[in-house]
Structure formats: structure tokens, C-alpha cells
Amino acid sequence: MSRIAYVNGRYLPQRHAEVNIEDRGYQFADGVYEVVHVYDGRLIDADLHLDRLDRSLRELRLPAPMSRPALLHVLLEVARRNRVREGLLYMQVTRGVARRDHVFPQGVRPALVVTIRRVPRFPAGPDGWTTQAITHPDQRWARCDIKTVGLLPNVLARQAAREQGAGEAILFDAEGMVTEGAATSAWIVDDAGTLRVRHLDNHILPGCTRAALTRLLQDAGLTAEERAFSLDELRRAREVFITAATTFIKPILAVDGAPVGDGTVGPVARRLFALFARHVRGGPRNAPAA
């Protein structure tokens, strides 16, 4: 069965999908995107992702391609047409097609592309869902809070991780403070036993899985301290894990080749994994299946 994509109002086989060579996303990275996890046919944390998409569009003064209900319908329809029950939906909005010029074009319709791909089912436990990380200088721009398609520094960081046998690059700034992962939010349980994640600012993306996990923590009477941590604190941490729509909660067992704690999944990550697994498998905040 051919994969089906949505491109500017049409559902068509992905092998035939195309965009104009003067699309501003292609020429200027003038666009934003979101990735939503599909589990058992449901869109996980769809409200959070669509809220963030709206914010990214506003920050770039980029018109929405359609209403939220219409976009949600497209997402569910792409999943349905591809018969995907476990997968990742990718949506990208660009400023559209215009003669190449840096300034915003007038009278141009935004372009929308939606695709989906299958991924393995969320595992029953965290022990087979682990990875290692490297640390890498954060070389991105000063508006990382906007989820733009301009990801070259992230690509280079992830490639560096791959070449060193790791699954993620944890980024740090000029002061040696951790910002986030190349494609994830970074968490630690510090050497005092405090669960920490960096405060939200323009240097990191406001992660949707981070937000969902924070809600779950509050519902369970638990807390996470939103406070930046240094590379030294990262290396001394009892536990390290990352969160994202693509990975949910993934424990990091080693950083730069050195084990985190005793090199196994820690008790906090194990508990949070169980909390999030229950959310994914039936959380009330998740959009229903098509």
C-alpha cells in the first residue's frame, strides 16, 4: 500500500507528493512544524501540540492554513488513510510560494503538508527503552522557543551523537549550562535527589511531552523543579532522562561514555515512565481515533 500524504488540500500517494521549488520553507526555512504521536489510533496530547503550533505561527506572523477543527480532521484522516494505529504524524506549515525575497510576500497562501510513518508500539517498561547521550555545544539561534523547520544545528548535533554511538546530544550554552537535547527535553535527578528540568525561556522549546508530564506529576502530588543545571550537575546526576513526542520518556544510561548513577534505569524514571504509559494508553486529554 502506498503511503498517503496531504499536500495543500489534496490527499495523494506520497511518491507523487511535491511542493514548489520557490516554497519559502525550502528557500528560507520560513515555516514551522509539529510531530504528534499516534497510539492505538489516538493522537497523544493533540491539544498541546496544536496550541504550540498556534504560538509558533503567531511568533512568525504566519497565517494558519485552516481552522483547528479542520486541521485535526486532516491529521486523523491521514492516519486513517494510511491505516496507521501506531505512528508519528508530521505537519509542516510554510509561508507559501513566492518569488525569492527576504521580506514577507503579500497575498500568498500558507502551505500545509501532513505525512505519517509507523513506529514501534510504546514498550511495556523502560528497560528496553534506553539510550546514551553525548554533550555538545548549543549553536542554535536565540528563538528556540519557536518550532521552526530550520534545524541544521540540531542535525549536526544528532549526527555527532550517532558517530559516537549515542542516541541524543545534550546541548549546553557558553556558560556551561544545559539547555535541552537536540530533539528532546533534558531532565535530571540531581545528586541531592531533586527532579529538575530547565526553566522555559527563548533558549529552549516548550516541550509538549514535558508539559504533559508536568501535569501528571502535579496530579500525582509530585513536583519537578524548573531550574537550569550545569554540565557538572548533569555528570553528577543520579538519573538522566529525555522526553519528546517521538520518545515519550527515555532514560539515559551514560553521558559522554560515563555511566549515569549505576548505569541502570533509576527509580524516578521508572515511576514517571509508568505514569506516562498510563496517560498514553488511555489519557482523557488525548484525541479520539478517527
Which residues are tagged catalytic?
147
Closest by Cα among 228, 231, 217 to 271: 217
For the chain, the C-alpha Rg in angstroms (whole number) is 19
Gap between the Cα atoms of 80 and 90, Å rounded? 14
Gap between the Cα atoms of 83 and 88, Å rounded? 12
Gap between the Cα atoms of 129 and 106, Å rounded? 47
Please, what's the b/e burial string for 27-66 (b: 16 or more CB within 10 A of its CB; e: otherwise)? beebbbbbbbbbbebbbbbbebbbebbeebbeebebeebe
Gap between the Cα atoms of 113 and 11, Å rounded? 10
